Every structure is written in structure tokens, then in C-alpha cells.
Structure 1
Amino acid sequence: MQRPAYGQSPPLHHPVPQHVSTVPQLRSPPPPVSQPHSQGYDGSPYQQQQPPQQQGGAPGGNVFGQYGNFMNEPTAQFASQFGQTAFKHGQEYLEQNVMKGWFKFWEIKPYFNVTNSYVINKLFLVLFPWRHKPWSRKQAMGPNGQEGLYLPPRDDINSPDMYIPVMSLVTYIFLETLIAGLRGEFQPELFGYIASTAMVIQTVEILGLKLGCYLLSISNESQLLDLVAYSGYKFVGVIATISIAEIASGGKGTGGWAGWSVFIYTFLANSLFLMRSLKYVLLPENNGDNRSMQIDTRAKRNQRTQFLFFYSYLVQFLFMWILSRP
């Protein structure tokens, strides 16, 4: 080996690797092959096959996905037609058997046929019935001059309506909760308690009226709806009693003399109103039917009169006292 000259550095020799190794490129593993012929044998790149989409939106492997197309089969159409037919026959059965003798829902509509003047005059009549005459309801004249159906409330002040009873019930519930809030006793459950108490009283009253009419052989086509309407007019007197007593007693309730005075007055006014108004329902006059004229004897009429007095005074006193107490 030749030595380098003085002042010169020896040449650098880099080692030459004897074996060159290639670094493999990292690749993600190929997706699983669902079928053996999913990859071509000619060296074409691998194409991933998507799994077949389950009908009905069910994921793969879901048992319920196998039945996702049930609603598209003829069986579903048959079930739909069968359900519609069964519902139609059920509705016809209810109308012909269950609702017959009671009422149909669309018959309530005439009871809400009121005007502003009718509502004001009817409220005045309920609170001041002492000098009102006549009490008989008006009937529409037929084409041949005979009497037909009763006139709606807007055309006859003596006709019962559903508007005043329903609004009076709602007003009573809000008035009671408002008074409880002013006293610092308001709770959310108070709405349900007051509404439940009022509805239970209404239900018991209507059932008692219906039972009395059945025992006394009193029949009327619009009997039930008329009784429901008349049973709700007591809330007018109850609202007047609670409002005046609360103002006069300074929040002490109906225990004072003012509360009891207003309660006695509204109770007597409501009782007289019911005695005069329900006379055509509980004490029907002869309607040309000979059989009904024979049944409607003097003794039967006396029983009906006693029942009307019992309902108008004793029953109303109990229910109005329960609703008016603080």
C-alpha cells in the first residue's frame, strides 16, 4: 500500500455493503374474500365486494332482517283489508246497539249552537229565575203545521246548552287553583284533584238521574244530553258563591256570613231553575200515545214530582256544598 505524501490526508474509503436488502412497504391487509372468484386470476387488482344490503334496513346477520319485506307481501295487504273491514263492522255495531238509546257524538253539536246574547240571558236566568215565564221549550213547525223538533239554544232561552256548563266547569277549576295560589297553598297536583272531584260529582249525579228515569219509566230521545246539560248549571252558582265569599271575607273562604248567604241564595235559585226546566223531561205531558197515557197515572206522576223535588233541592244542596267549601 502506497503511503500518502507529507501534508496530504489519506483518501476516504466508504464501505460498500455486500448484500442490499429491500424494505417491504407496509400495506393494510386485504379485506376478507367472501367468494373464491372475487379476485381475478389474471392478476387484476383486488376488488372488495359489498355484502348484499338487507331489505327493510336490517343489518347483516339480524334475524329480523329476513322478514323486513313482510309489509310488501300480499299477506300484509290482506291483513290491512281485514282490519279495515273489522273496524267498520265494529263501528256499525256500536252505533246500532250500544249508542242506540243513549246518544251519538254528532248529536252534541246543536247544544253548542249559542250566541253572546243567549249566554248573557241564560246566566241571568240561572241566577235570577224568580219572575221568568214561560218555561216551556219552543218547537219548530213542520211543513203541515205540526210541531217538530225543539229549537236550538240560540233561538230559545229555555233550551239547554253545553257551552255554559263546560265553561263553568273549566272556570271553577281555575278559580279554585287561583284562590289556593293567593293563599300560598298552590301545588301542581291541585288541578287534578279539583278536576277529579268535579267529574266524580257530575258522573254520580248523571247516573242517579238516569237510574231514577229508568225506575219511573221516563223516556225521552234527548233525555241523557239534556240531563248532562242541566246538571252543569250548578257551577254558575258555585262560582258566584266562591268569588263573592272570597272578596267579602278577605280570603277566609265560605265560612263567614257573606259566604253562607250567597250560597243559600244561589242554591235556591238553581233549585227553582231545575224544577221549572226539568218539568218537560221528568213530567212529560201526554203525547198522543194511548199506552203511555195509561201508564202515566196520578200515582206515577206524584212519584216523578217527588223525584224532581228530591233532585232539585236535596241532591243539589249536597253537591253545591261540597264544591263550594274552602
Structure 2
Amino acid sequence: MQRPAYGQSPPLHHPVPQHVSTVPQLRSPPPPIPQQQHQQQAHGYDGSPYQQQPMGAGPSHNVFGQYGNFMNDPAAQLASQFSQTAFKQGTQYLEQNVNRYVNVSALKHYFNVTNSYVINKLFLVIFPWRHKPWSRKQTVGPNGQEGWYLPPRDDINSPDMYIPVMSLVTYILLSTLIAGLRGQFQPELLGYTASKALGVVVLELVGLKLGCYFLSISNESQLLDLVAYSGYKFVGVIGTISLAEIVNKGKGTGGWFGWSVFLYMFLANSLFLMRSLKYVLLPDNHGDARGPMQTGDTRAKRNQRTQFLFIYSYVVQFAFMWFLSRP
């Protein structure tokens, strides 16, 4: 063994442990279990800032839970049952009172249309010159009775309410739109146009009912049929206003072009009414089960009905269509 030089300290030798595995490793103590569970319930996740919130957790879960508890409340269930009962009784009361004045089941018959029917019907109203036949198709009723007419979707000659109602609304909106394009729109113009159109329809129906009364024409579906036919004139009026406004460039329905379009629409509508209203105003003795002529009818009375139909289809329609086509 070499001896250390003078002035130098001998080297230190540290003891090497023989059993390294027995030395315990130092670790941080785990958090208490109640505290960890409380932290997860408070934050809704395990402490990671990038973890998404699970479905059903958070404040919304509490809201839905409270709502579910509210719906399970007996007072809430009683209020819900009371509202449903009140709504049902109100609906029944409304239907009973409406049926006193309007036959809802019969009115649904006039709105039973399809897209193809609407297109073909509009084409028939505008171009009625070569259409045949004009008679309506009949079928057997639900109880086996004869003389029931097919709905509009199954018969092009059947009157409907869809086209007249939509034409009336379109006429009101079109008139106000044209006034707005001319810089003449005012809020009261909408009500004035609607009143003018409805007034024409009501006046026309009153005249038709008086004529049917004095000529002893009876028909179960007469009123609704006349309401439907009185609204077809708005198709021609809309066509006249639209074409004249486009060609005349905002100058209205005046001029030779406007009058030409008006005369064509008027003649088409008059022929359409003349052919279509024959089964109402000129019922046959045997063919129409809804409106049979009485036994005391004579040829003179039939001539009077024909004259009344001609006056209504040409004279009355000319006056009303000219009035509605004016700005």
C-alpha cells in the first residue's frame, strides 16, 4: 500500500450498501379519497384542463333534473290535465257554433285539390274555347244515394275554393305592389283594395241569390258553388293588370294593349261561366239530382233563366272586371 505524501489527507472511502432494493423510494402522498371525489363533482372532470365535459354533467343537468321533478309534481300534472280538457271543450264548442253557419264538411270538399288540378283549371279559365264536355261527373254517396259530385281533384269541371281564394289574395297584394312601384303606396291602400274586392264578391252573390229566388232555382250546394264561381274572375283581372303593367311600363291598363288583354280575359271568363253554371241556373228535369226543375216549369221560365245567365256572365262580369282592373 502506497503511503500518502506529506501534507495530503488520505482518501475517504464511503461504504457501499449491500442491499439497494431495501431502500424506500420517496413519493408524494396520495390525496384523500373524499377530497378527490369532491373535486371531481365540483369541476365535472378529473382535473385535466383539456378534457371535455361529459354529457349530462354541469348546470344543465341540474336544470333538466329540476324540470323532471317539476313534471312529476302532482300540481303540475293536474294543471296539464285541466288545460287539455279546456282546449278539447273549447274546440268542440267552436266546431258546434261554426257548423251552425258554415258546413265545414261540405267546405272541405271544395279545397280537395291537387297541383295538376290547379294547373289544368287555370288553363281552362284562361283558354275555355275548345273544352268539352262541361258536365260534372257524379258518383254514389257514402250511404248509396245517387247524385253526388266528385271532388275537384277528380273532376276538372268541379268548382273549387282554392283558386278563388288565392286569386283574391294575389289581387290585393299585386295592386299594392304596383302602387308601391309607382311611389303611391300607403298603408290604408291594402285595406281599401281588400274592401273593394270583397264588396264586389258580396254584391255579386246577393244578385245571384235574388235571381235564383225569383226564378225558383233550388240547389243544396248552390251558395258554395256560386261563391266559387264568383272568384274565378280574379284570374282574368290579375292577368290583365300584370300584362298591361309590363308592356305599358307603369302606365296602367289603358291603351290598346291593355284593352285588348282585358277584352280577351273578359270573354274567356264569360264563356267559362256560361258553360259551367248551366247545371246550377239551368238544371235538367232528369239529369241533376241536386237541383231538379219543378213540375210547373215552362219553356218561358227556362228562357228567363237563360237570359239571367247571359246577363250575369257577360253584362255583370264586364262591369265588375272593369272596376277591379282600374288602378
Tell me whether the two structures share a fold, i.e. TM-score over 0.5.
yes
Distance change >3 Å, CA 143–CA 198, structure 1 → 2: closer
Quote how far apart the aligned CAs of 1:250 are.
Answer: 0.7
SS class of match (1:295): coil
Q: How many pairs were matched up?
A: 233
Quote how far apart the aligned CAs of 1:223 are.
Answer: 0.1
SS class of match (1:294): coil
Question: Residue 208 of structure 2 corresponds to which residue in structure 1?
Answer: 209
Distance change >3 Å, CA 287–CA 171, structure 1 → 2: same
Quote how far apart the aligned CAs of 1:164 are.
Answer: 0.1
Question: Residue 303 of structure 2 corresponds to which residue in structure 1?
Answer: 302
Distance change >3 Å, CA 92–CA 174, structure 1 → 2: closer
Question: Residue 311 of structure 1 corresponds to which residue in structure 2?
Answer: 312
Q: Which amino acid aligns with 1:298?
A: R
Quote how far apart the aligned CAs of 1:107 are.
Answer: 1.7
Write the distance in 2 (CA, Å) between the matches of 1:201 and 1:92.
Answer: 27
Write the distance in 1 (CA, Å) between the matches of 2:99 and 2:123.
Answer: 40
Question: Residue 178 of structure 2 corresponds to which residue in structure 1?
Answer: 179
Question: Residue 157 of structure 1 corresponds to which residue in structure 2?
Answer: 156
Alignment pair present for 1:269 and 2:268:
yes
Question: Residue 130 of structure 2 corresponds to which residue in structure 1?
Answer: 131
Write the distance in 2 (CA, Å) between the matches of 1:239 and 1:142.
Answer: 37
Residue pairs, 1:195-274, within 5 angstroms:
195-274=194-273
Write the distance in 1 (CA, Å) between the matches of 2:152 and 2:99.
Answer: 29
Question: Residue 283 of structure 1 corresponds to which residue in structure 2?
Answer: 282
SS class of match (2:258): helix
Give the RMSD, CA atoms, in angstroms: 2.5
**CA-to-partner distance for each residue in 1:14-44, whole Å, 9 max, x for gaps?**
xxxxxxxxxxxxxxxxxxxxxxxxxxxxxxx
SS class of match (2:147): strand
Question: Residue 73 of structure 1 corresponds to which residue in structure 2?
Answer: none
Ranges in structure 2 where 5+ consecutive residues have no aligned partner? 1-88
Question: Residue 191 of structure 1 corresponds to which residue in structure 2?
Answer: 190
Write the distance in 1 (CA, Å) between the matches of 2:191 and 2:206.
Answer: 22
**CA-to-partner distance for each residue in 1:150-176, whole Å, 9 max, x for gaps?**
000000000000000000000000000
Write the distance in 2 (CA, Å) between the matches of 1:246 and 1:308.
Answer: 32
Q: Which amino acid aligns with 1:170?
A: V
Distance change >3 Å, CA 175–CA 292, structure 1 → 2: closer
Write the distance in 2 (CA, Å) between the matches of 1:141 and 1:307.
Answer: 31
Q: Which amino acid aligns with 1:260?
A: W
- 8 Å contact kept, 2:284–2:293: no
Write the distance in 2 (CA, Å) between the matches of 1:129 and 1:94.
Answer: 36
Write the distance in 1 (CA, Å) between the matches of 2:98 and 2:165.
Answer: 30
Identity %: 77
